[in-house]
Each structure stands twice: as structure tokens, then as C-alpha cells.
Amino acid sequence: MNKRRIRCIRLLSPFDLKAHEHTERGRVEEKSLCIMDGHHRRLATIHLGLAAVPVVGFTYDEVRVGSRRAGMEVEAEELIARAMSGALFPPGSTRHVFPPFESTAIPLAELLEAPPRV
């Protein structure tokens, strides 16, 4: 049976989220607010001038992590450390596998309003 856990969606400023890998030009996160997936969407949000980005929170106890690059090993602790220090991986280095979850659409008007800062 495919169990889908309903997750709370929070609206956060994209400036509060922390990347752990670089993004590629032309293609437009736990308490650490480390981005697990959506680095390019966050950047697009900033470029579009949106005040908020929808965020579904997970912990690394729930998510499997690995690398997309041959011979490269990645651990959750290193991802968080890189996000906090700014020593980012190259684009497309990491892979996160999430458990099934349900989410909902957020009206654009809500993304234009500034959420409280974390």
C-alpha cells in the first residue's frame, strides 16, 4: 500500500533557504533550511521578485541522499555543512529521494506577500 503523508507547506523567503550546490546559468531545506531539491526554483523565485517560496520540510532521517557523479560519496552531514559554510558542490552533484507526500497548489498572490523572516 502506497502511504502518502500529508505535509504542511510553509511560505518562506527564498533568501532564508541555503543551497548546498551551485546552480547552472540559464536554468532558471530541517532547521538548517538546507535546500534538498529546488535550487533552480529558488533562484527563479528570486529573479521573478517573488517574496515567498512554498517549502515542504523533511529531515535527513526521512530522505535518502546520494551523488549523481561517479565515485563521489555524499553524506547528509556534509550537505548541511556545505550549505551553512557556503562551500557548495558543483551543479547537479547530489540526489535526494523523498518519501511519497501530498501537497497543494499555492495561489500566486500568496507568493507575492512577504512571509515572516526565519
What total number of domains does the chain contain? 1
The residue range of the domain holding 72 is 9-102
With a pLDDT cut of 70, the percent of the chain lying above it is: 89
**Does a structural domain hold residue 74?**
yes
Q: How far is CA 27 from CA 71, 82, 95, in A?
A: 26, 22, 17
**Does a structural domain hold residue 64?**
yes
**Does a structural domain hold residue 16?**
yes
Tens-digit pLDDT profile for residues 16-62? 988 888 887 654 456 788 888 888 889 988 988 999 988 888 989 99
Among the residue ranges 6-15, 21-30, 103-112, the one predicted with the least confidence is: 21-30
Q: How far is CA 8 from CA 54, 57, 76, in A?
A: 10, 8, 22
pLDDT at 3 exceeding the cut of 60: yes
